[in-house]
Structure 1
């Protein structure tokens, strides 16, 4: 059973990461709808505001309770986040509260705080509300995907991207429920599951990048294509771990090396989009978004390597 300290820290770190991810998913969905589907635009805006409010509350609750490892990982905010938000708001006219990003960046300078039973109860309550919000956005994404696949709706988002962010919502729900139940689980099996999940996410990121680049960006297209193929291989290797868990250390090492590589590629691409040096139809915030997801996975992989050595 998780200790109160681990429960609080892991819950807050999970929510700080995924609430921002969910907020941005709402923005990407909203930006992709046509004016014909105005009720969906309104619902995406509502979900953006729900996760924005929850994120503000989580940031305030997290002061002094987050590990330095997480704060320095670049998974919560990066040096590009504010610029990416500003540019994306300019392009879409969707309001993005950049004060939230400034608040989150300031967590790195907060002194350590003590955890008491009041803190535990507050986090349990936060997790319950996060579960309800995650269920709500998962249902919304599922409805959008169903409409797109049955040709009842047009969106500028790929059907695979909608399915991709639906899987991320379900992953977030899975982790929240495990934390709420203080569930003990088999570390090796959990690592195998997470590497399979995140390697597939990284493969799809590469394919989305490839598809959002202007056709003249041949070198970047080829690099993205190569990363997509490599992470497809790594996804298959991770899936085979259930039959041979002894392969875990080598798969983790390869996943880490390639995730650092694709993170650096995404970061360079995001800088290029912000500076208007790369021709694409990608929002700058989408670039920063996938950089942060890679940074999160890198932190997880480093932790997995420690488990492998124990």
Structure 2
């Protein structure tokens, strides 16, 4: 059973990463609908604003509380996040609350040995709010995906991307629910599951980027294709480790090496998008979004290596 300290630190640390991911999912959906589906645009915008409010409360509670490792990992914000938000807001006329990003740049980690009951209660309430909001977002994503697959809706977002962001939301929801039950995490089991999950996510990121590049960007096609193939193979190897036909330590080492390289590629891509040096239909915030997810996976893999 999680102690109060573990419950607070793990909950808030998870929220700092995932709430920003969820609000950006809402943004990507919002700017992808056509004028006919204005009601879906409006609902996606409402989700984005609700996640903004939740993130503001999490930032307030997290300062001096969450692990310094999370703050320093680059999964909460990167050096590019603010500029990516400003550029994406300018391009879409969607008003992104950059004040939250500025506040996150000033976050500091903490090495608390205990927490007061009031913080435990407030964290519990944050978790309940997140469970309700993420559950609603999952349902919304499912409706959008079903509409697209039945040819009743057009959006610039790939069906696989919609399914991709729904899987991330489901992972987040399952984690919050586990925290609320005060379940202690089995690190070895989590390593199997998280590596299979995030290797697949990294593969799909590469495929999305490949598909959103201008046809003239042939050199970047090859890099993205190679990463897609590489992470497809790592996903299969992680599944083999779950079946105990391959050592998980071997998969972790290979996954870390590959994720460090795709992190560097995502960094260069984000810089290229912000500098208008890449021809594509990629919104700048998407570049920073996938960079943060690679940073998150790197932190997890380094944790798994210690066990």
* TM-score computed with the length of structure 2 as normaliser: 0.97
Q: Shift of the alpha carbon at 1:240?
A: 1.0
Q: Does 1:39 align with 2:36?
A: no
Q: Give the conservation status (yes or no) of the 8 Å contact 1:64–1:113.
A: no
Number of residue pairs the alignment of both structures matches? 307
Q: Deviations over 1:52-103 (max 9, x none)?
A: 0000000001111011111110000000001100110011111101000001
The answer for the alignment partner of 1:131 in structure 2 is 131
Kindly report the root-mean-square deviation, in angstroms, between the aligned alpha carbons of the 2 structures: 1.4
Deviation at 1:241?
1.3
Provide the residue aligned with 2:243 in structure 1: 243
Moved over 6 A (4+): 109-113
Tell whether 2:22 aligns with 1:22: yes
Which deviations, in whole Å up to 9, do the C-alpha atoms of 1:220-265 show, x marking residues without a partner? 1100100000000000000111221761001000000000100110
1:32 is paired with a residue whose SS is: coil
Match of 1:177 in 2: 177
1:230 aligns with 2:230: yes
**Tell me, what secondary structure is at the counterpart of 2:108?**
helix
Q: Distance in 1 between matches of 2:124 and 2:104?
A: 21
How does the TM-score come out when normalised to structure 1? 0.97
Other-structure match for 1:119? 119
Unpaired runs of 5+ residues, structure 1, are: none
| 1:85 counterpart = 2:85 | yes
Structure 1 241/269 Cα, relative in aligned 2: closer, same or farther at 3 Å? Answer: same
- Shift, 1:187, TM fit: 2.2
109 and 14 in structure 1: CA distance in 2 versus 1, 3 angstrom threshold: closer
Q: Unaligned regions of 5+ residues in structure 2, if any?
A: none
Partner of 2:278: 278
Paired residue secondary structure (2:29): helix
* Displacement after TM superposition at 1:109 (Å): 7.5
CA displacement, residues 117-158 of structure 1 (integer Å, 9 cap, x when unaligned)? 111111011001000000011000000000000000000000
Task: Judge which range, 154-163 or 110-119, deviates more.
Answer: 110-119
Residue matched to 1:199: 199
Task: Decide whether the 8 Å contact of 1:83 with 1:274 is kept in 2.
Answer: yes
Question: What is the CA–CA distance in structure 2 between the aligned matches of 1:243 and 1:234, rounded to whole Å?
Answer: 14
CA contact (8 A) 2:67 2:110 kept: no
